A = this chain, B = another copy of it.
Amino acid sequence: MISLNESILKRIAEEEKVPFEHIKNGVEQGTIVVPMNKNHRLLKPCAVGAGMRIKVNANIGTSQDLSDLAGELEKLKAAIGAGADAVMDLSTGGDIDAIRREIINQCPVPLGTVPIYQAAIEAATKKKSLVEMTPDEIFAVIEKQARDGVDFITVHCGVTLQSVARYKEEGRVAGVVSRGGAFMIEWMNFNKAENPLYSQFDRLLDICREHNVTLSLGDGFRPGCTADATDRAQLEELLILGELVDRARQAGVQAMVEGPGHVSLDQIETNIKIQKEICKGAPFYVLGPLVTDIAPGYDHITAAIGGAWAAYFGADFLCYVTPSEHLRLPTLEDVREGVIVLRIAAHAADLAKKAPGAADWDRAMSQARKKLDWTKQIELSINPPYARQVFESAPQKESGVCTMCGEFCAMKKMNEVLDDKK
């Protein structure tokens, strides 16, 4: 059974407007996780899972092609400023340790990583190939990151000899699109050995328990195109992850499960419900889902369409997707845009699920609209500086109305005619 600092849980219960007992029970049973490493001074912890407001994660981090610590710290600030509930540092370029430590130091929200990236890159640098990394080296990196204060780690424990066999038998269009998944497959293929993150899962649990790191069980076989969604490889991995959730709970380690990926609208509800069933209510962390493959440059939007509905059907945690997905490493502006757009999706789901307090925001905005109170409308916008910029770019001629309808503003008319202004 998992137990956490009660004063933090009480604070979260107040913010979420739910009874403290609900969160406490959820954490104990594993249907709620509160990622908070003992070594990270976390100013804004949050809870992810059953009955909690939908959370949004922003991925930042260098790549081999673009590595700039200052730039990534700017992205961190932008993500937090835009309202991200959590951030992942996915750096694969530059001095990865230094970058992670500085990001953790400056990150007020839960910080996640994918430790296999660093393990693979260090091996590739030192030994010329990532396939030469040893299980001990992998766990050493995980332990180092846990000591540094990482709050949650994505580990692709479900990429096993068995799920790889299912994958090969399946015949996919886009294959494997998970970087961590691809690393593990490359390693297993060369070493003719089982994935150590699976075969030595207890070792992973020991590290997580010691530092209170939350496991985010990665989906190496997440579909990378809608044609591959909900296939046998994906489901095989999910079954394995379900078993690992049981083992994490027994070991007193918090665990959530990652999910697709590219999934067309008709399959989203099924994907969420099967995950919740197989993983016994473990929090579900989804990337998108992207509901079509044809919109590079707009994949924050394909993800918002899928994410809103995934969250409505029961997903708990949305990983943002930026407009740059499939095209380039995101820019600062992409980071901001990605967070805002996925927060819209998250809020739309909270509103539809009648999350405590969610409708108050919409109602306040609608009342300000009816009163033609532009100051208030802009203040209540999800991105006030941007709303102000758009509004002020087209100066009103008639006081009180915008240039869309001018004096024929329906709200203005109705206030005058039927006097139905509230």
Contacts and interface: CB of A to CB of B under 8 A. Distances in A.
A351 B229 CA distance: 13
Contact of A352 (B264, B312, B380, B411): B264
A294 B382 contact: yes
A386 B391 CA distance: 25
Interface in A398-422: 398, 402-411, 413-415, 417-418, 420-422
B383 A64 contact: no
A250 interface: no
Interface in A143-180: 168, 172-179
Interface residues of A, number: 108
B265 A407 contact: no
A104 interface: no
A298 interface: yes
A356 interface: no
A297 to B, nearest CB: 5
Contacts of A217: none
Interface string A238-263: 00000000000000000000000000
B227 A359 contact: yes
B264 A327 contact: no
A199 interface: no
A208 to B, nearest CB: 25
B264 A224 contact: no
Contact of A292 (B178, B228, B351, B409): B351
A325 interface: yes
A394 interface: yes
Contact of A294 (B176, B179, B362, B394): B362
Interface string A300-331: 01101100110010000000000111111110
A176 B353 contact: no
A351 B410 contact: no
A327 to B, nearest CB: 5
B397 A328 contact: no
A93 interface: yes
Interface in A366-410: 366-367, 369-370, 377-378, 380-383, 386-387, 390-391, 393-394, 396-398, 402-410
Interface stretch (A35-43, A72-80, A341-349): A341-349
B295 A344 contact: yes
A354 to B, nearest CB: 8
Interface of A: 63-66, 92-93, 117, 120-121, 168, 172-179, 181-183, 185-186, 189, 224-228, 264-267, 291-298, 301-302, 304-305, 308-309, 312, 323-330, 340-341, 344-345, 347-349, 351-353, 359, 361-363, 365-367, 369-370, 377-378, 380-383, 386-387, 390-391, 393-394, 396-398, 402-411, 413-415, 417-418, 420-422
